[in-house]
Amino acid sequence: MRQMAVITPYAQFLFRFLSDAAEKNLTIKFTRRTDVMPPVPLLTKHHPSAVDLLLIKRLITDTTKPNLLQFLQHEFVNISKAHADRLIGEMGPDFSAKTTVNSLTSQQLVRIHQLFRQAKFDDPSGNCLSPAGEYNLRLGIIKELHPDLVATHASSPQVFEGHPFIVEAGVSIGGKDVKQ
């Protein structure tokens, strides 16, 4: 609970344990320290390098786009019309921009998946993330640990296999509950 209070100083936590024996009752409260909330994450489309074969199949089942060109453009992030045309050209002679997505065979889906793994796409933005932020992280550490020194850092959005992430870290030295 204390670790949660450190990384979420904008929330208040109340933990109450009620026992049959009144002397064993326990109440722990972590108060709010700030009203600054992390940004709300935005809904985003799938990044082509982060999808697997099952997800491609599900997207094809759920799509309202009739052909391969529109499917690539509208169901994935960072695929423009020009990029979609180029990808379709690299898929081979069995593919065209007008190929209906519902008519794709299992072998064709595997080829699309392979091409997504091989092709280079722009990194997705980090707007689908909701980082706590250095300010909130620092406040949480100060509120709960009362350290002598605090350092925090938040990286810019990075990508691993099409999945964006942000590293947030805090280090503190000293404090009220520190043992020698």
Q: Indicate whether 180 belongs to any domain.
A: no
Q: Indicate whether 150 belongs to any domain.
A: yes
Q: What integer is the mean pLDDT of 93-115? A: 93
pLDDT of the residue at 179: 72
Per-residue pLDDT tens over the stretch 127-138? 899 999 999 999
**Full residue range of the structural domain in which residue 82 is found:** 53-118
Q: Indicate whether 109 belongs to any domain.
A: yes
Q: What integer is the mean pLDDT of 13-37? A: 93
Counting the structural domains of the chain, the total is 2
pLDDT of the residue at 180: 66
Q: What is the CA radius of gyration of the chain?
A: 24
Read off the CATH number of the domain in which 59 is found: 1.10.8.50
Distance CA 9, CA 31 (A): 8
pTM assigned to the model: 0.70
pLDDT of the residue at 115: 94
Residue 17 neighbours by CB under 8 Å, 6+ apart:
24, 25, 26, 27
Q: Indicate whether 11 belongs to any domain.
A: yes
Q: Does 114 have pLDDT greater than 90?
A: yes
